[in-house]
Amino acid sequence: MAQPVEITIPATGRKIAVPTGLFINNEFVPSVDSKDTIQTVNPATEEVICSIVAGSAADIDVAVAAARKAFNTTWGKNVTGFERSRLMNKLADLMERDAEMLAELETLNNGKPVRVARDFDIGDSVQCVRYYAGWADKITGQTIEVDNKTKVAFTRHEPIGVCGQIIPWNYPINMWSWKIAPALAAGCTIVMKPSEITPLTALKLSELFIEAGFPPGVLNTVPSLGSVGGAALSSHLDVDKVAFTGSTVTGRKIMEAAAKSNLKKVSLELGGKSPHVIFESADLEQAANWAALGILYNSGQDCTAGSRLFVQDTIYEKFTTLLAEKARAMKIGDGFGDVSGGPVVSKAQYDRVWSYIESGKSEGAKILTGGEKRPGKGYYVDPTIFTDVKPSMKIVREEIFGPVLAVAKFKTEEEAIELANDTSYGLGAGLHSNDANQCMRVSSALEAGTVWVNQYNMLNNNVPFGGKKQSGIGRELGSYGLEEYMSIKAVHWNFGEKLDWPF
Ligand code: NAP
Ligand code: MG
């Protein structure tokens, strides 16, 4: 089983041939030793889309060997940055050409609105690949004077090698792009493991890789269960780096596997419980829009979701009323309809989010809006806002990864900062205020890799992104993201010093 299957997008009638095999050496192949499959599901209808091959640990070995061979022959230090850039730009053009089709496939498997998938996820992904294509031929080291008469040193920024990349289901195409683009620009080769829940677009994008003209083995895609393929990649002795986005629990396992095997370099983008602080001087209408976006975008399945909202006591009633209106105005439904949000991704995620809503109710938080299940098919969770929450509640402490917001009150700036930082995470944080000095003070005090002032959740391909505390290690995007894929070699050059012997 590695033949493509033709699936039809019900809403548009578009037929898409989806590869079902493992993508290794620019071919779609069956597993070398396993008959396991992964069943993909449309979260809006709960219907099965198709089954694909689930890779085994032995398939990871084959893919890593292909990536190693490419690294040593056609890629790595054997190809110029100009050529890497040319191929990456070609890939970006093909992604742009196929944006509508890829968006429909993403929506079918993930649930997010087609418009969002096309204009945001894919639009941003195309730009990300182009951004790093721009870097590929501009990678330079340093020349370091040691002694003008006898010695000089210089650095070479070399590709780190074969990279395992493990991505989640919330932004399947976007996370694919964030991972492959800096790796390719640096000259690395890749074994990609998409999420078992949303593997289809990574397979479809692999076809574009061939069309763009990349040599075999540069990118390999092995859909597999996390405990099989993900574990095999992170413990592999011939993988030089593993890059991961997903939960903190899994991130910990990956770091442990790396430590116990070959001490491969690890970068982790993990979860969050990001605070969003609204001060009394803020433009309340705008702040409510950003706060709603912060928790409801992508149905709250966002690592930076602004899931803890702190509102100054003087504006608390007014602001929460406004926010509830914003939440109720958002249309949630099948991503192929005219909606701003879709279902959550899977039955497991649906059950998980509802268990948190139940816990919020039983721990005594007040429901401002939402909190009721819909009848019928589809993993829908309507925007749910809890007020009067206490710092000890589970809905305040744990990442929910759904459209569920916990709102609390504060009196002073000091109290707001203390509440905001009272978490083991440190991914994102937001604040709204029209007092410039306050913005500067608070943005400095918030413990997070990204702080948004008078906006939320906006990222740019040229600005670094990553976590503090237990939200991760390393940075993606920008020039910082490129550094994660490079190994710095220092060359010491002697052109005059004689070594006397014995010394
Ligand atoms: P997850 O387990 O962290 O999955 C992310 C990726 O890691 C997937 O490709 C997964 O594969 C893989 N994986 C799973 N176990 C692995 C292992 N032992 N070694 C290596 N890789 C492994 O996330 P999840 O279980 O799908 O979701 C659970 C929760 O994680 C969510 O509710 C949310 O709180 C959080 N999450 C955060 C992000 C984020 O962007 N920060 C993204 C997704 C989820 P499989 O898909 O095959 O399991
Ligand atoms: Mg999982």
Q: From the alpha carbon of 167, which atom of ligand 1 is closest?
A: 9
Contact 330, 296 (CB under 8 A): yes
| Residue-by-residue DSSP string for 269-335 | E-----EEEE-TTS-HHHHHHHHHHHHHGGGG--TT---EEEEEGGGHHHHHHHHHHHHHHS-BS-T
Mean pLDDT value of segment 322-333:
98
Ligand number with the minimum distance to the CA of 227? 1
Ligand nearest the Cα of residue 168 is 1
Beta bridge partners of 162: 189
Return mean pLDDT, the chain: 98
Does the structure show a pLDDT above 70 at 1? no
231 CA: nearest ligand 1 atom: 19
Alpha helices (H) along 30-80:
57-73
Over the stretch 340-369, which tens digit does the pLDDT of each residue have? 999 999 999 999 999 999 999 999 999 999
The answer on pLDDT for 79 being more than 60 is yes
| Residue nearest atom 44 of ligand 1, based on CA coordinates | 246
In the chain, % of residues over pLDDT 90: 99
47 alpha carbon – ligand 2 mean position (Å): 20
- Please state the atom number of ligand 1 nearest to the C-alpha of residue 400: 34
Choosing from 269, 399, 413, 476, the catalytic residue is 269
Ligand 1 pocket member 231 (CB < 6 A) = yes
- Measured in Å, residue 56 CA sits from the centre of ligand 1 at 18
* Ligand 1 pocket residue status of 225, Cβ below 6 Å: yes
Interatomic CA distance for residues 417 and 46, integer angstroms: 42
Residue nearest to atom 12 of ligand 1 (CA): 226
CB under 8 Å to 338, separation ≥6 — which residues?
331
Beta 275-278 vs 308-312: how paired, if at all?
A: parallel
How many distinct helices (H) and strands (E) make up the chain?
16, 22
pLDDT digits (tens, 9 = 90+) for 93-113: 999 999 999 999 999 999 999
- 473-487 average pLDDT score: 98
Cβ–ligand 1 contact at 196 (below 6 Å)? yes
Quote the crossing angle between the two packed helices 172-186 and 123-136, to the nearest 10°. Answer: 10
Mutation to probe ligand 1, out of 179, 195, 476 (largest number of atoms < 8 A from CB): 195
pLDDT digits (tens, 9 = 90+) for 249-303: 999 999 999 999 999 999 999 999 999 999 999 999 999 999 999 999 999 999 9
Residue 206 burial by Cβ neighbours in a 10 Å radius (0-12, 13-18, 19+): buried
Compute the average pLDDT of residues 167-180.
98
270 CB within 6 A, ligand 1: yes
Q: Is the CB of 227 under 6 A from ligand 1?
A: yes
Whether 253 lines ligand 1, by a CB cut-off of 6 Å, is yes
Examine the pLDDT at 482 and tell me if it is beyond 70: yes
Residue 250 CB less than 6 A away from ligand 1: yes
pLDDT on residue 2: 77
Q: Which ligand is nearest to the CA of 40?
A: 1
Q: Which atom of ligand 1 lies nearest, measured to the CA of 352?
A: 32
Is 280 an active-site residue?
no
Query: Which residue is closest in CA terms to ligand 1's atom 18?
Result: 227
Among 171, 242, 247, the mutation site with the greatest number of ligand 1 atoms within 8 A of its Cβ is 247
Q: What is the pLDDT of residue 72?
A: 98
Q: How far is CA 82 from CA 24, 95, 132, 137, 139, in A?
A: 25, 20, 12, 5, 11
Any atom of ligand 1 within 6 Å of the Cβ of 226: yes
All domains in the chain, ordered by first residue: 4-270+471-489 (3.40.605.10), 275-453 (3.40.309.10)
- Quick check: CB of 168 below 6 Å from ligand 1? yes
Instruction: Please report, rounded to a whole number, the percentage of residues in the chain having pLDDT higher than 70.
Output: 100
Residue nearest to atom 11 of ligand 1 (CA): 226
Q: Is the peptide bond before 375 cis (omega within 30 degrees of 0)?
A: no
CA of 230 to the centre of ligand 1 (A): 10
Backbone φ, ψ for residue 265 (5° rounding): -65, 140
Q: What amino acid is encoded at 358 in this protein?
A: E
Tens-digit pLDDT profile for residues 205-226 = 999 999 999 999 999 999 999 9
